[in-house]
Structure 1
Amino acid sequence: MTAPSTAPGPLPDAVTATPPADRSGVPDAPVTALEGKPPGQRPPSRLRALDGLRLVAALMVACYHYGGRDGEIAKAWGSSPSHQFPTASEWFAYGCLGVQIFFVISGFVICMSGWGRPLKDFFASRVSRLFPAYWAAIILVTAVFALPAVAFATVSPSDTLVNFTMLQQPLGADRVLGVCWTLWAELRFYALFALFVVLPGASRHRVVLFCAVWTLAAAMADAADQPLLDIVLMPEYAPYFIGGIGLYLVHRFGNDAMAWGIVGVSFLIGQRYAVDELWHPQNPDFFSYRHTSVIIGIVALGYLAVALVALGKLNWANWRWLTVAGALTYPFYLVHEHLGWVAVETLHQDLDIPSHATFALTIAIMLALAWLLHKLVENPLTPVIKRSISGKRKR
């Protein structure tokens, strides 16, 4: 249950054109114009295309977890996914690159939601966004894995309790949710951004300086090979967060050479980390072989998609259902891997449903569960937690 996972971090919030943000990064009310943007270039009040991109990235990760790797999912299928999906599994193996796309989106959204708001409000929005569905997912997965009919191993009660803090990885505890290792990366990004941008007050100059210093410091940390520096500066993840921040500067201030320079450098560094992590020489003992050019291409497409959102080129994708899709992405991400194992085993081995139908049904079931978590957990608890932390009473 705690096997390493290459799923993305917490999916960024539903996004709107400008901060300050309300629940889930959504502003209290649309602002009339973006700073630096003439009236004719104002985007719609909600960036629904970014919600859709989040869903696409989440489905990429689900494809990876259900058909692009071995491990516990092979036990659920009864054989390796490469046997269940002889052709598709080669492409499913690229689904783990959704992590890069998610981190780019996160950089964009966190810069947007933290701009022009006090530190206390920023902290309240992050806690109220991340923890309700996360707590519910821990309880749900622990309960399901405790059932006698479920053959997958659970973690100790002590480690389960530590997981509620979201600090289980640095404390060395087993993870209830395999994907939650990326939440630790997100928390560190939030801390850096809060300390160096939100606390002193966001401005174009300060954000540009933050991106430049973090890029250089992360490269130096990689060269120094010091564990503490790696933990704080996250050289393997920093380029994606920084790239998203640069794209938000483009979105807020228009075409700007400095902002595009931040994006370009972050992509050049980021693709190198993606290749270094995911590429290996062809080896028949490995589950899959990922081509370098395809890895670079998928990372580039992720940057390009967020860039099109930043430039307003996808404003036409303003369908309301994308808002719902964006709201379901985070709870879907939390529960889809481990509960997906149980669903696949039940549908495919117990009920003898064919592989492709099981694959589709499992995704549908996880989306339905995500909708329930959103409606029954996030909707009631998020505003309560946010008001409690920020000290703002409901009007």
Structure 2
Amino acid sequence: MCNATGAVCAAIWRDLDRSIVTSIHSIQYLRGLAACAVVCFHVSEQFGGPFDVGAAGVDIFFVISGFIMWVTTAGRPADPWRFMGRRITRIVPLYWIVTVLTAAGILIKPQFFYGHFFSVPNFVGSLFFVPVLQENALHPIVIQGWTLCYEMMFYLVFTLVLFLGERWRFGVLTGALVAIVALHSIFPAGYARAFTDPVVLEFAAGVGVGRLWLQGARLPLGVGLAMAGAGFLLLAASPLFDDEMPRALRWGLPATLIVAGAVFAERARPFKPAALPSFLGDASYSIYLWHVLVGVLTTGVVLRIGTPAALQPATILVATLVFSAVLYLVAEKPLVALLHPQRPKGAVKARDAAAAGAAE
């Protein structure tokens, strides 16, 4: 634990939050891969293609989320209010922007937004992560935003657990997530049943992987690669499984194997990251949030200019990925810089010196 003053300690951990995550290059790679997989799924769905497994990118995101939240908070001064505040300012502003623009698009050209549902209650509910339910599933204005409803619920549970002493947090957090899912079969149709879906267990799986990683657990390189490979093979084979199999088992278990295998393989053999997959990891949230809206606009342009039918899926896919990534640079990155300003290098050095002096 840090013996420096509370303010200096908080500054140290604030700067470490991002550096720890981005220094685990396999996590960055998987974030980019997951976002691209979801985009591929939606383009495939648009053209009646077979790539339903691309939706499992969401499950990889959930496991990664549990991993990141545990790794960036364990062993550090607990500040629940700051934790939740940073989660809100990181997730909500861009989500609200995309929600408003999507709602405007639905109102202007509803025929372009197949499967979307606009109403004033759904618009307001979407902004606060309690959208309308359709067939017992969350259905926000930004259709892929249902995942953020679960993310925010997880952040809320995580925030409450941070009020506890550190020795209790892991047990209480995982126990709470398991208890939430245990209530799923008890609740009738409605929000309670939707928010207790077994997919919540994927966050717990990520927390478990993060705890093992922080404890210094190691696996041989071959074992880590075999775990990740087994996860990908299970995803590839998932169309062969029973359609009634719970998502947390069908895609959540492979996602956990992929994330765990990747981080432990990297620990066994660290590597220098490549620029493109690292960038896609950084841009993954923007790619995920923007891609449906961008895809609708791209489709309109592709059809208008008379692109041959055989080229339309690939053209829409590439254009959607490119423009969504560009929006990371022109929208998300400046927004994050505004809401989470980085300290100048000189200030960081002065802070480190102050921390070292206080610790002596």
The answer for the alignment partner of 1:350 in structure 2 is 304
CA contact (8 A) 2:40 2:54 kept: yes
| Aligned counterpart in structure 2 of residue 94 of structure 1, from 36, 53, 76 | 53
Counterpart of 2:37?
Answer: 60
Contact 1:132 1:382 in 2 (8 A): no
The answer as to whether partners of 1:49 and 1:317 remain within 8 angstroms in 2 is no
Alignment correspondent of 1:109? 68
**Shift of the alpha carbon at 1:366?**
2.4
Structure 2 equivalent of residue 34 of structure 1: none
CA distance in 1, matches of 2:106, 2:41: 22
Task: State percent identity of aligned pairs.
Answer: 20
| Cα offset, 1:242, TM superposition | 0.6
* Structure 1 match to 2:96: 135
Shift of 1:46: 0.7
Give unpaired runs (5+ residues) of structure 2.
1-11, 219-226, 228-233, 342-346, 352-360
Per the TM alignment, residue 369 of structure 1 is displaced from its structure 2 partner at its CA by 2.9
* Superposition deviation, residue 332 in structure 1: 1.1
Query: Which residue identity lines up with residue 18 of structure 2 in the other structure?
Result: V
CA displacement at 1:127 relative to structure 2: 1.3
Over aligned residue pairs, what C-alpha RMSD do you find? Answer: 4.0
Rounded Cα–Cα distance in structure 1 between residues aligned with 2:268 and 2:315: 34
Report the counterpart of residue 193 of structure 1 in structure 2.
Answer: 158
Say if 2:36 and 2:321, in contact at 8 Å, map to a contact too.
no
Shift of 1:240: 0.6
What is the aligned partner in structure 2 of residue 309 from structure 1?
Answer: 262
Among candidates 242, 246, 253, match of residue 204 of structure 2: 242
Cα deviation for residue 55 of structure 1 reads 1.6
1:106 maps to a residue whose letter is S
Distance of aligned partners of 1:236 and 1:367 in 2 relative to their CA distance in 1, 3 Å threshold: same
| Offset, 1:299 | 4.5
113, 131, 139: which one pairs with 1:168? 131
| 1:334 alignment partner, SS class | helix
356 and 302 in structure 1: CA distance in 2 versus 1, 3 angstrom threshold = farther
Unaligned runs of 5+ in 1: 1-18, 31-43, 74-80, 83-88, 257-263, 265-270, 282-291, 388-392
Q: Deviations over 1:159-192 (max 9, x none)?
A: 435533333348x997321111111111111111
How many Å apart are 1:58 and its aligned residue?
A: 1.6
1:99-138 CA-to-partner distances (Å, cap 9, x unmatched) read 2211111110111233324112212220121023212212
Aligned to 1:331: 286
Task: Give, in whole Å, the separation in 2 of the partners of 1:45 and 1:382.
Answer: 15
Secondary structure of the residue aligned to 1:65 is: helix
Post-superposition offset of 1:194: 1.0
Distance in 2 of aligned mates of 1:236 and 1:146: 34
Deviation (angstroms), 1:48:
1.8
Deviation at 1:95, TM superposition (A): 1.5
Does the CA-based 8 Å contact 2:38-2:54 persist in structure 1? yes
Aligned to 1:322: 277
- Structure with bigger helix share is 2
Q: Does 1:155 align with 2:118?
A: yes
Partner of 1:364: 318
Match for 1:200: what amino acid? L
Change (3 A) 1:379 1:367: same
SS of aligned partner of 1:168:
coil
CA, structure 1 residues 309+157, in 2 after alignment: closer, same or farther (shift >3 Å)? same
User: Which stretch shifts more, 334-343 or 158-167?
Assistant: 158-167
Residue 207 of structure 1 and its aligned partner are, at CA, apart by: 0.8
Distance in 1 between residues matched to 2:197 and 2:242, nearest whole Å: 18
1:125 aligns with 2:86: yes
Partner SS state of residue 237, structure 1: helix
Q: Tell me, in whole angstroms, the C-alpha distance in 2 between the residues paired with 1:190 and 1:149.
A: 33
SS in 2 for 1:224: coil
Superposed, 1:13-52 pairs within 5 Å as: 20-22=13-15, 25-27=17-19, 46-52=23-29
Q: Which sits farther off after the overlay, 235-244 or 300-309?
A: 300-309
Q: Which letter does structure 2 place at the counterpart of 1:350? A: R
Q: 1:110 to 1:45 in 2, by over 3 A?
A: closer
Asked if residue 178 in structure 1 is aligned to residue 143 in structure 2, the reply is yes
Q: Which amino acid aligns with 2:23?
A: R
CA distance change for structure 1 residues 334 and 228 in 2, over 3 Å: closer, same or farther?
closer
Letter of the 1:385 partner, please give it: L
Is the 1:108–1:248 Cα contact (8 Å) retained in structure 2?
Answer: yes
Give the corresponding residue for 2:355.
Answer: none
Change beyond 3 A, Cα 1:218–1:124: closer
Q: For residue 8 of structure 2, what is the aligned residue in structure 1? A: none
| Partner Cα separation in structure 1 for residue 130 and residue 176 of structure 2 | 26
- AA aligned to 1:189 is F
Alpha carbons of 1:147 and 1:331: their partners in 2 closer, same or farther (altered >3 Å)?
same
159 and 100 in structure 1: CA distance in 2 versus 1, 3 angstrom threshold:
closer
Query: Quick one: distance in 1 between partners of 2:99 and 2:333?
Result: 18
CA distance in 1, matches of 2:100, 2:250: 38
Alpha-carbon deviation of 1:195? 0.4
Deviation at 1:54, TM superposition (A): 1.3
Offset of residue 313 of structure 1: 4.2
The answer on whether the counterparts of 2:295 and 2:316 sit within 8 Å (CA) in structure 1 is yes
Aligned-pair CA distance for 1:225: 3.3
* 1:367 counterpart letter in structure 2: L
Per the alignment, do residues 325 and 201 of structure 1 end up closer, same or farther by CA in structure 2, a change over 3 Å counting?
A: farther
